[in-house]
Structures are given as C-alpha cells and as structure tokens.
Structure 1
Amino acid sequence: MADHAKLAVLIDADNAQPTLAEGLLAEVARYGTAHVKRAYGDWTDNHLRGWKDQLLALSIQPIQQFGYTKGKNATDSAMIIDAMDLLYTGRFDGFCIVSSDSDFTTLARRIRESGLTVYGFGERKTPGPFVAACDRFIYTDVLGETDSGQEKPAEPVPRQSTQDLRQDARLVNLLRNAIEDAADDSGWAGLGAIGSIVSKRAPEFDSRNWGYGKLSGLVNAIGLFQTEERQVGNGKHFYVRNKKKPANRE
C-alpha cells in the first residue's frame, strides 16, 4: 500500500523556494513515508538563509555542497550521486526529486528502470523531458506555500470555468480516451481507473492544476460526461462515461 511505501526526498534547495517545504512534505505523505529528507545547496551562501527554519522544523537534513566553479551547479551532481547510493541500498520504494532542472531527467529515468516510483516536484517552467521521465509530476504552485518571511506565498491556482475547461482540447481528450479504455461493456468507468490511466499518459496531470481539489470536481465542471455515484459496499464510488453523440437526423 502507498502508506507503507518508503520514500527518499531529495531537494535541490538552489532551485526550490523554502515556502513550499511544508506543503511538499504533506504531499509526499500521500504517497508514502519519507525515510530520508535531504536538501542540497551551498549553505554558506546567504541566498539559502530562508531554508534554515524549515530545515529545523521539518527535520530536513542539509547537505553542504560548495560551488567550486562559478556558473556551474555542483548541487545537481551531489544529489545524483546520493540518489544512486540510496538506490543501491535497495531500501526504498520510490524517490521524490524536488527541482525544476532538466539535469535530473536521466536520474529519474534510471530510477524507474530499477522498478521504483519517481515523484517529481517543480515549477511550471520545468522542462518537458524531466516531467515525462517521472511517474508523477506535481507542480509546486498547487501545494499551498507558507510564509517564511522571505517570500510572498503563492496565490492559489484559480478555478477555471466550464467554458475554459472545454476549450482545453488536451485535457478533454485525455479524459475521453481514459474513460473509453477503462469502461465496462455499458460504457461506465470507475474514477480511480480513469485517474490511473491519465496519470500514466500525462505524469503532470493533477486536477489542482485547473483549480479543482478532486478529479470528480474537475470532471463535473467540464460538463461533457455522464456521472453517477454508486453505493459499493460501505462506500460511494464515482463513475463516469462519455456522453453518446446524438444520432443524425435526415
């Protein structure tokens, strides 16, 4: 089960804001337990001073990496070496790589080749290859940042209207195709199966990217699909199917 997954969280502090730390670890807890929490950077540099309180409060281990050459990011190399060392221990089920840097693309791919899950966390500017190399990629602006006194907290992602959602062809097609693939003979598909298929095809997919906390809310807001709740055992489950196109009339 996901709750028992052992995760290693590696943070590129040179490339991530300290205000996201609390929301980040809360998100990580949805996928498993963070057995390792490390943040990498040159801690002698004043630009990382905002991380100090977060490191102490959240028990994140700072890993010192001096910038030996101006213009070169030594942090990336240190993270990659540590990640491989941790991978070879065989103690983990997955890795959380926190950075918007494409230099971690090959690392993410290599970890997945070993059968482990990779969760990526980064800003919207994160290059596509790194996003695609992860099993799941979460944009940090949906996590809910805290005010560390150094940075202004990010505004929540605005909820998009039905009209805007319907104009997002990629979103609509992702959902339609996933429903089609997960559907039973009657055309109905469980929401969990739909979400699983979509995430595999688009690692960055997250209903919060459009301002909706749950996939069910996003699906309902689009208004292009039939939905219903069913009582299954002791709980209710959400089902979706594509609306049938009206027959052409002569």
Structure 2
Amino acid sequence: MKSNFNIAILIDGDNAQPKILKEMLEEVAKYGKATIRRIYGDWTTSQMKGWKDSLNQHSFNPIQKFAYTSGKNSTDSSLIIDAMDILHERNIDGFCIVSSDSDYTGLAKRIREQGVFVMGIGRKNTPIAFIQSCEIFTFVENIYPEEELVPDEPKTVKKPSRKVSQVQQPKVEKVPTKEESKNLMIDKAFDISVDEDELAYVSQIGTNLRRIDPSFDTRAFGFKNLTRLFESLPNYEVVRKDFNGKMHALIKRK
C-alpha cells in the first residue's frame, strides 16, 4: 500500500482490550497511517477506566456515549454512524474496526462495497460473519499472546461397565485439524497464484490467502512471515531471484 494510505481506527471500548492498544497501532501501521483514532464508550462507567491511561499516550479521542436503556449501550450505533460520515467525507483510504461484535458485520460490508479497505481486530470468538466481511482480520491472540483463552479442563469420562451393551455410535464426519486446514488453504492459494513457470510470488500467495480467509495469520502457526512458513513445509521450496537489483522470494512445489 502507498505510504500515505490513511486509516481510521474506530474502537468499540466496551468490546476490546485496552492493554493491547499499542499492539493494535503497530498492526494497523503495516497497512497505513492511523490518522483518525477514536474509542467509543460510556466514559462515566468503571468499565472504561482501563482505556483512560492510554488515551493521551497514543493520541486517541474518547467519544462519550451514554447508555440510554438499561442493559444496552449506544456505542455500536454511534461508531457505525461516525464510520458512515467518515466514509462519505472521503478523507481516508481505509478503516480498522476493533471489536469482536457481530453488530459491525453490515458496516464492514458497506465499506467494502464502496471499494474502501476495511480490516478488523478482535478475539478468536468473533463471529465468522464479521471476519469474512473484512479484507483482513487479525486476532488479538496473535498480536498479544497473553490474550490466549484458557482452555477448558478436560472432562473425565467414565468407561461403560462390561455389563452394559455397547451401542454403536453413528459415524461423525471428520473435522480437519488446524494443521490440515492450513495446508488446504496454502495449496489452494498456491494454485491460484502460480504462473506458467510453476512459480508463485510469496506476496501474491499472501494476498490470495487473505482472500480465502481474512483471518489467516502466520503467527498463529509460530512463524513471523509467510516465507518462513513455506520454508518449513516439506512439499514446497523457497526460491530467491534477483529482479532489477531486488531479491524476491518465490515458491515452487517440490
């Protein structure tokens, strides 16, 4: 993306984690410059206290929205209205919506329909509809490992007594493992990206991986970038070529 690519960061303060504000900005900086920075919430509540210390440090504007109805807040609607105003002013090139709430699915779709870049940042429990509505979706667990959810304790299952007749269980369709899903996506992205010389640019594969799954992130598999991930795969080989004095990484199947 161009160096002057301007992005508006809109944070749902009721549905995001204040301690990773710095990491959020670093993630957005990969794609552009965060020119508009706003955090929405009811700042009269104790729930928003965690954001206050970071506001001035990272130059965010707090947007006050009162809860007009018990048990509900107006944060979602306020953020959406502001986003539409910013969209129509056309002063920015992209949006970053920080939330794990499916209420922003329609907003993300509307922004994309205008041909404007939209990314999301949220937890792994974010509904798939919101994730797929963004061009890029980054899980906070990938940029801040301490945010990993604590796994449930394994339950002890009692073995049936020998006296009890075994009832044949219906066959359950096998769900692909995380590793299998990764390999399937990579193979598909490679096939889309490969040229007639059976080579594919790493950057093009990365673009197609995001198109297949906006939440695809090499950090989820323990690698800093896509080149390192391909170097670990037995079925692929990384080839480096010099084009006009610049080294480019290409991928080919073994």
Question: TM (normalized to structure 1)?
Answer: 0.86
Aligned letter for 2:28? V
Corresponding residue for 2:229?
Answer: 218
Percent of aligned pairs with the same amino acid: 40
Corresponding residue for 2:210?
Answer: 199
After TM superposition, give the deviation of residue 167 of structure 1 in Å: 6.4
Contact 1:176 1:242 in 2 (8 A): no
After TM superposition, give the deviation of residue 142 of structure 1 in Å: 1.9
CA distance in 2 between counterparts of 1:188 and 1:16 reads 41
CA distance in 1 between counterparts of 2:66 and 2:178 reads 47
CA distance in 2 between counterparts of 1:68 and 1:171 reads 45
CA distance in 2 between counterparts of 1:74 and 1:230 reads 54
Quick check: 62-71 or 104-113, which moved more? 62-71
Corresponding residue for 1:228?
Answer: 239
After TM superposition, give the deviation of residue 196 of structure 1 in Å: 0.8
Corresponding residue for 1:184?
Answer: 195
CA distance in 2 between counterparts of 1:64 and 1:2 reads 33
After TM superposition, give the deviation of residue 79 of structure 1 in Å: 0.4
Contact 1:121 1:139 in 2 (8 A): yes
Question: TM (normalized to structure 2)?
Answer: 0.85
CA distance in 2 between counterparts of 1:167 and 1:87 reads 37
Higher relative contact order (CA 8 A, sep 6+): 1
Aligned letter for 1:168? E
Counterparts of 1:70-219 in structure 2 under 5 Å? 70-144=70-144, 153-154=146-147, 168-219=179-230
Q: Give 4+ residue runs of structure 1 displaced > 3 Å after superposition.
A: none
Change (3 A) 1:2 1:125: farther
After TM superposition, give the deviation of residue 118 of structure 1 in Å: 0.4
SS of the residue corresponding to residue 14 of structure 1 reads coil
Corresponding residue for 2:28?
Answer: 28
Number of aligned pairs?
A: 228
Contact 2:140 2:147 in 1 (8 A): no
CA distance in 2 between counterparts of 1:30 and 1:226 reads 26
Change (3 A) 1:228 1:89: same
After TM superposition, give the deviation of residue 207 of structure 1 in Å: 0.6
The root-mean-square deviation of aligned C-alpha atoms, in Å, is 1.9
After TM superposition, give the deviation of residue 70 of structure 1 in Å: 2.1
Contact 1:180 1:187 in 2 (8 A): no
Aligned letter for 1:127? P
Contact 1:2 1:30 in 2 (8 A): no
Change (3 A) 1:50 1:167: closer
SS of the residue corresponding to residue 26 of structure 1 reads helix
Contact 2:137 2:215 in 1 (8 A): yes
Deviations 1:187-212 (A, max 9, x none): 11111111111111111111112121
Contact 1:132 1:203 in 2 (8 A): yes
CA distance in 2 between counterparts of 1:34 and 1:138 reads 16
Aligned letter for 2:241? R
Max Rg structure: 2
SS of the residue corresponding to residue 38 of structure 2 reads strand
After TM superposition, give the deviation of residue 140 of structure 1 in Å: 1.1
CA distance in 2 between counterparts of 1:12 and 1:2 reads 27
Asked if 1:63 is matched to 2:63, the reply is yes
After TM superposition, give the deviation of residue 72 of structure 1 in Å: 1.7
Aligned letter for 1:189? A
CA distance in 1 between counterparts of 2:87 and 2:197 reads 44
Higher fraction of helix: 1
CA distance in 1 between counterparts of 2:42 and 2:235 reads 50
Change (3 A) 1:134 1:62: same
- Give the unaligned 5+ runs of structure 2: 149-176
